[in-house]
Chains A and B, each alone.
Chain A
Amino acid sequence: MNKRDFLKGAILFFPAGGLLALARDGARAAAPGPAREAEKAAAPEAPKPSGKRYNPADHYYGMGIEVEKCIGCSRCVEACKAENDVPAEPYFFRTWIERYTVRADGEVAVQSPNQRTRHVETTDDRDVIRTFFVPKLCNHCAQPPCVQVCPVGATFSTEDGVVLVDGERCIGCRYCIQACPYGARYLDPRTRTAGKCTFCYHRVVRGLKPACVEVCPTEARVFGDLRSKASRLVRFRRMNKLNVLKPALNTEPKVYYAQLDGEVR
């Protein structure tokens, strides 16, 4: 092939590729395949009951937790597992309940029901000054360390303030699991990718509450939109003295704790 032929071919080749791509797009739009259906099923495409389309820019989600109200029943843990298809074993959790026990000698015991969902009742309450439950979950930090360390950019903050993992990009390197100061991530043994709380993103975009908030019998969890003036969370933030976990790390968590004890880490 001489130079003239090559250049002629090139001039034809590039626009032809573009045209082919256009033709393919047109065909896909005309014939709805299964992929197209799945896209349509996605909630942002589907109009909400109010008739408005979901616009992530209008929302910024957070959660409030009233520690005094938590009874440690772990209904939230079970609901989370059911809703989000979290493997029942080997004991990974997107949300979990910790029991703190502060004894007279200053010793603080933190119990997390590692091998099961629920706490077993304790009978040993000698020398206990105070004891309480603390629900934990991903804090959906505004400055998330897990996002910083991800080498492939698989985890990111959405516009509406939720930290998500792209399961198709994640390479399962566990950097984020190490980086999370709250221990909120795990490696899903089935997909070998990082798993974490999504604030039940699929429910939230449909206007529902996250599963844990939905089932909490004492309303210890409050979910809401920080951008909406009428949301319960905004009221919760106004009416309570709030704290976040590990504020010194400057992760700016969006899970706010009311009546949080100083011993909680």
Chain B
Amino acid sequence: MRMPEQVQRLAIVIGVIAAVVLVGRFVLMPPTLVARELHRSSTEQREAAKPVKFAGSSACQDCHDNVVEKKAKGYHKGLACEGCHGPAVKHTEDPSAVTPAAPRDRKFCPVCHAYDAARPTGFPQINPTAHNPLTPCIGCHDAHDPVPPRTPKACAACHAQIERTKAISTHALLACTTCHTVPEAHKKSPRTVRPSKPQTREFCGTCHAKDAGAKEAAAKGTTATDAAAKRAKTARQAPRVDLSTHGETFQCWQCHYPHLPEGRS
């Protein structure tokens, strides 16, 4: 059977068009253009290209290894550096130009540590209005190694009221033995064997006199112990008075209760 000529021509034209379409579709077009996931992968790339602002704790370790080491031993070991200091990727890029914030005021710590009934039981919480008002938290607590005030069980068993009072006072971190010498026999016969109490104004003066801490600071350079250094640090922040004029001839504890010293300069 002979095909009419016009059909033959039409077949050639159709064949050419089909070939062009097939070549265009499978050879010329880049595969990404026909991929159904095109806009998805471009979205993923766009998302992935967004700038990072929190560098991650491992970034801090390289330079601040002393702080990281200290923090790793304390109660704040689970905290990320940037949780308190804020996003710091810019600081890692140019440490001298950008310094991360170091929160020092009283508003910052109660965000976690203010009492809230909904917080889990056992989480350390305070009442910010009663707990040493106006004193910055870092005056008593080292944020990198916070130590809760601990009264030994042996003392607190009987002196629980003093324990609770002292816990919210500026003297919270002082050990009982800082001011009292307790003979071992006091535990067996508490009424007949009494612990010592400070007898002189000069005892309070070791921290609160004008020139207090100078000795410790001097000692720090030679035979520095941790205790002495700590003492010198605490004494540095203690309020100072001139013992020769302050309070005339009264003893310190006639006006200030040492377990909750409320007087502030």
Pairwise interchain contact A74-B111, C-beta atoms closer than 8 A: yes
Question: A116 — which chain B residues lie within 8 A by C-beta?
Answer: none
Of the listed stretches B81-89, B161-169, B224-232, name the one at the interface; the rest are far from the partner chain. B81-89
Complex interface: chain B residues within 8 A of A39 (CB): 45
The tally of residues in B whose CB lies under 8 Å from a CB in A reads: 46
Residue B44 is within 8 A (CB to CB) of chain A in the complex: yes
A window 120-156: CB within 8 A of B: 121-122, 125, 128, 131-133, 153, 156
Look across to chain A and name the residue whose beta carbon is closest to the beta carbon of B76.
A217
B263 within 8 A of A: no
With A42-B48, A214-B54, A215-B80 known to touch, is A166 a contact of B118 (CB < 8 Å)?
A: no
Q: Are A133 and B28 in contact (CB under 8 A)?
A: no
Do the beta carbons of A71 and B54 come within 8 Å of each other?
Answer: no
Contact partners of B51 in chain A: CB under 8 A: 202
Report the bound CA distance from A69 to B121 in whole Å: 9
A198 to B28, CA, bound (A): 36
Is B214 part of the binding interface, using a Cβ–Cβ cutoff of 8 Å? no
Task: Name the distance in Å between B75's Cβ and chain A's nearest Cβ.
Answer: 10
Stretch from A14-22, A57-65, A176-184, A235-243 at the B interface: A14-22
Say whether, besides A82-B87, A217-B79, A132 and B56 are in contact (CB < 8 Å). no
Query: Which of the residues A99, A198, A214 comes within 8 Å of B80, measured between beta carbons?
Result: A214
* Contact between chains at A218 and B78 (CB < 8 Å): yes
Interface string of B48-85 (1 = CB under 8 A from A): 11111110110000000000000000001011101100
A41 close to chain B: CB less than 8 A: yes
B78 touches A22 (CB 8 A): no
Q: Contact: B78 with A217, CB < 8 Å?
A: yes
Q: For chains A and B in complex, what number of residue pairs have CB atoms within 8 angstroms? A: 150
- Confirm or deny: A258 has a beta carbon within 8 angstroms of a beta carbon on chain B: no
Minimum Cβ distance to chain B for residue A174 (Å): 19
Residues on A with C-beta less than 8 A from B256 are: none
Q: Are A82 and B53 interface neighbours, CB within 8 A?
A: yes
Partner of A122, one of B20, B43, B56, B117: B117
Question: At the interface, yes or no: A31 with Cβ under 8 Å from chain B?
Answer: no
Does chain A have a CB within 8 A of B24?
yes
A113 within 8 A of B: no
- Minimal beta-carbon separation of A188 from chain B (angstroms): 14
- Which B residues are closer than 8 A to A by beta carbons? 13, 16-17, 20-21, 23-24, 27-30, 39-40, 42-54, 56-57, 76, 78-80, 82-83, 86-87, 111-112, 114-120, 123
A-B contact pairs, 10 of them (CB 8 A): A14-B24, A15-B28, A18-B24, A18-B28, A18-B29, A82-B53, A121-B116, A131-B117, A167-B46, A211-B87
Given contacts A165-B43, A167-B46, 10 further A-B contacts (CB under 8 A): A14-B24, A41-B49, A54-B48, A68-B120, A73-B112, A75-B112, A79-B83, A82-B53, A166-B42, A217-B83
Please name the 5 residue pairs, one residue from A and one from B, whose CB atoms are nearest each other, closest first: A18-B28, A202-B50, A215-B83, A166-B43, A42-B49
